[in-house]
Amino acid sequence: MLRIESMHVDLAGHTVLRHVDLQLEAGQTVAVVGRNGAGKTTLLRSIMGLAPARTGRLLLDGEDITRKPAHRRAADGFGYAPEDRVLLPTLSVMQNIVLPCEVLRVPRHEIRQRIDAVLVSLPQLEPMLARSGAALSGGQGKIVALARALMVGVRFVLLDEPFQGLAPALARQYGDALRALRVSHPQLCVIVTESNASLLDAVQSRTLHIERGAVREETGGAVRASEPEPSASHHG
């Protein structure tokens, strides 16, 4: 469904992602695990079109979207919850989660259907909807940020370190919500980053490790390189 082909991303003249080769499929919950500075956020930003690739391609159902601007990626069904999720404090929670759909001119009945689907997995959202975006705890804010990403991310939802800073009970609730998505949104591809794999609460169906900008697939406990060996392919 989404194919990343030998992608390199530079930031401020430094290579931050190096020959990333990945295939992401509908229905997967993919964990991207790596320490701080490994390139997790940059990987998500590159998928969203916010960190342009120096080389390589991003193919969605075979269509080359490498140079497609970020605001048009959202219309392709990508939702993103950045680490520093920002809710607008002057708007209600409902207005916060509906706003991206309104920007994309999603019809009102479709917005209603999406809210209903989101509430199946996130029932704790319902009593928050009328409240101000400013009146939420950290854990509630993460649930709202997830809901907002789900409202536009009908095919992909990218969650940047959502478990960070959650108390254990709230982390378990968040993990339960991600597992419930497999039932309410079975075709959705969820990509969730984390620096501490144990925080993930076994939500993933697949694990990728990222180290110094190189992504490796974890296969049955072993970690296998997902790109050619350095000797087989020389880059810049």
Q: For ligand ADP, which is the closer residue by CB, 46 or 140? A: 46
Q: Which tokens in the block code for residue 10?
A: 């530079």
* Residue of the chain from 11, 70, 91, 166 that contacts ligand ADP (CB under 6 A): 11
Using CB distances below 5 to 8 A depending on partner kind, what does residue 50 bind out of ligand ADP, Mg ion, none? none
Using CB distances below 5 to 8 A depending on partner kind, what does residue 87 bind out of Mg ion, ligand ADP, none? none
- The DSSP line for 53-66 is -SEEEEEETTEE-T
Q: For ligand ADP, which is the closer residue by CB, 39 or 133? A: 39
CB of 32 to ligand ADP, least distance (A): 8
Instruction: Please check whether residue 181 is in contact with residue 190, taking contact to mean a CB–CB distance below 8 angstroms.
Output: yes
Q: For ligand ADP, which is the closer residue by CB, 40 or 142? A: 40
Q: For ligand ADP, which is the closer residue by CB, 18 or 148? A: 18
Closest CA to 173 of 230, 125, 210, 208: 125
Closest CA to 157 of 143, 147, 165: 147
Q: What's the distance, CA 82 to chain centroid?
A: 8
Binding mask 21-50 for ligand ADP (x = CB under 6 A): -------------x-xxxxxxx--------
Q: Does 12 bind ligand ADP (CB under 6 A)?
A: yes
Residues 6+ apart with CB under 8 A from 33: 193, 194, 195, 197, 200, 207, 208, 209, 210
Footprint of ligand ADP (CB under 6 A): 11-12, 14, 16, 34, 36-42
